[in-house]
Structure 1
Amino acid sequence: MPQLLHLDASARSDSFSRELGAAFVDHWKAAHPDGTYTYRDLVAEPVEPIDEARVRLATQSSLNGVQDLAAMDAVAAAPELAEAWAVTRPLIEQLLAADVLVIGTPMYNFSVPGSLKTWMDRVTLPWLPLADKAAVILSARGGAYGPGTPREQFDFQEPYLRAYFAALKLENIEFVHTELTHAPVMPFLADFRDVHDTSRAAALDAVKALAARLPAEAPAD
């Protein structure tokens, strides 16, 4: 049965990225009634920031040629690494169990919020195998950063996340953006309310289509 891991990273409980995530989940559950759903709110339930022991886990992983959880368990049995691995392992298990990873994230300071970056730092190890997974990034931006906009060059969020997942061999990745989310509340952006409404509607349509399509069925033998 397909498995979905859903992460939310917005500090706002009523954020547009959370709206997109909730819509995706509703459509995904309808399309995959036998699926398994796991959720973590990275703000309400923050991941512990990495420390020296967690960094040493990654170093020892590379030095020992680790390729899977069992080998990592053996390396992390060292007393100075055991606690860091006890925090890290359950998060990696969640990620490895998922067929689809959905991340709802705002754009903060042109990139991702610290809550999401902390999760990424915690779970990432050189051997982490994500090539067989799909990822959907559901992003909300206060302004407009899409292709052809004056601030396009300030979008460090999508290029960063693409590079991050590409380094982990995950190439099946989709981005859905709701732009100009400040237009309904900021007077100086009021003229762009229609642009925001169009962007939001298109994003909600996109998540419906993606939820029905992912994960793709494995090819027949």
Structure 2
Amino acid sequence: MKLLHIDSSIAGAGSVTRDLSAEIVAVLSGAGTAEVTYRDVAAAPVSHLSGAYMAGLQGAPVDDAMRSELNAGLAAMEEFLAADVVVIGAPMYNFGIPSQLKAWIDRLAVPGKTFNYGERGPVGLCQGKKIIVASARGGIFSAGSPFAALDHQETYLQSFFGILGIADVSFVRAEGVAMGPEARAKAIAAAKEHAAKLVA
């Protein structure tokens, strides 16, 4: 099994999603049969999309600096394509995902590689992969919450990977981690319990 582990939190050692994603990967690779590739998009960010990058991707002439950027973006996509399971640490920042994670995701959306445009819209080319998202939110945004409509984090990830043809997207969620020490500890414990059941 080839496993790709992505972290995106800027919180360092205090990050809930880094803790959760590491635990998920440890359990998944515990038998020693997984080949794990790790990418920290907060510590080593992928650059944000530019007009020059998109033109180069479509075959326009580029200089050496842009060629290096194109190669880095394509390498990120190839890592993703090679993986059977992708574990993503994705905290909620201002109701969405970190911009560093969005920049990495933008490198995955390549027509002809991860999806195609058909007569009825996008057709995913990445069927068969499994995505596990370690999610953390300061407040409560899950279904039933009065703030559920503000969730542009998990809903975005579900939609994006669905467009790539990936139906197996799971979330290990710690909610309310900014609502006091007791709420934080309880949320993390519940998330870890869910993670253990999910990857069993």
Corresponding residue for residue 111 of structure 1: 96
CA deviations on 1:56-78 (whole Å, 9 max, x unpaired) are: 255x3xxxxxxxxxxxxxxx5x5
Shift of 1:82: 4.3
Q: Which residue of 2 aligns with 1:79?
A: 61
Structure 2 residues not aligned, in runs of 5+: 115-124
Aligned to 1:66: none
Larger radius of gyration between Structure 1 and Structure 2 = 1
1:155-213 Cα offsets, whole Å, 9 max, x none, are: 1111111111111111110011101111235xxxxxxx34x44332221012223333x
Q: TM-score, normalised by structure 2?
A: 0.85
3-state SS of paired residue (1:149): coil
Report the counterpart of residue 64 of structure 1 in structure 2: none
Code of the residue aligned with 1:211 in structure 2: it is V
RMSD across aligned positions (CA): 1.8
Question: In the alignment, is residue 178 of structure 1 matched against residue 160 of structure 2?
Answer: no
Q: Structure 1 residue aligned with 2:87, among 102, 117, 133? A: 102
Partners of 2:24 and 2:199 within 8 A in 1: yes
Structure of higher RCO (CA pairs closer than 8 Å, 6+ residues apart): 1
* 2:24 counterpart SS class: helix
Amino acid at match of 1:15: S
What aligned pairs does 1:54-65 form with structure 2 within 5 A after superposition? 54-57=53-56, 60=58
Aligned identity (percent) is: 35
Q: 2:111 is matched with which residue?
A: 126
Residues in 2 aligned to 1:96 and 1:198: alpha-carbon distance in whole angstroms: 36
User: In 1, distance between residues paired with 2:56 and 2:126?
Assistant: 19
Are 1:207 and 2:187 matched, yes or no?
no
Structure 2 partner of 1:189: none
In structure 2, C-alpha distance between the alignment counterparts of 1:8 and 1:177, rounded to whole Å: 15
- What letter corresponds to residue 7 of structure 2 in structure 1? D
Do the aligned residues in 1 keep the contact of 2:4 with 2:80 (CA within 8 Å)? yes
Structure 1: 4+ residue segments shifted above 6 A: none
Number of aligned positions between the proteins: 185
In structure 2, distance between residues paired with 1:164 and 1:115? 16
Listed one character per residue, the Cα deviations across residues 15-36 of structure 1 (whole Å, up to 9, x for unaligned) are 1111101111111121x41110
Provide Cα deviations, 1:101-134, integer angstroms capped at 9, x if missing partner.
1110110010101010010112221231321211
- Name the structure with the higher helix share: 1
Structure holding more strand per residue: 2
* Residue type of the alignment partner of 1:51: S
The answer to whether residue 20 in structure 2 is matched with residue 20 in structure 1 is: yes
Question: How big is the shift at 1:83?
Answer: 4.3
Select between 162-171 and 144-153 the one with higher mean Cα deviation: 144-153
Q: Is 1:140 aligned to residue 140 of structure 2?
A: no
Aligned AA (1:98): A
Deviation of residue 42 (structure 1)?
Answer: 0.8
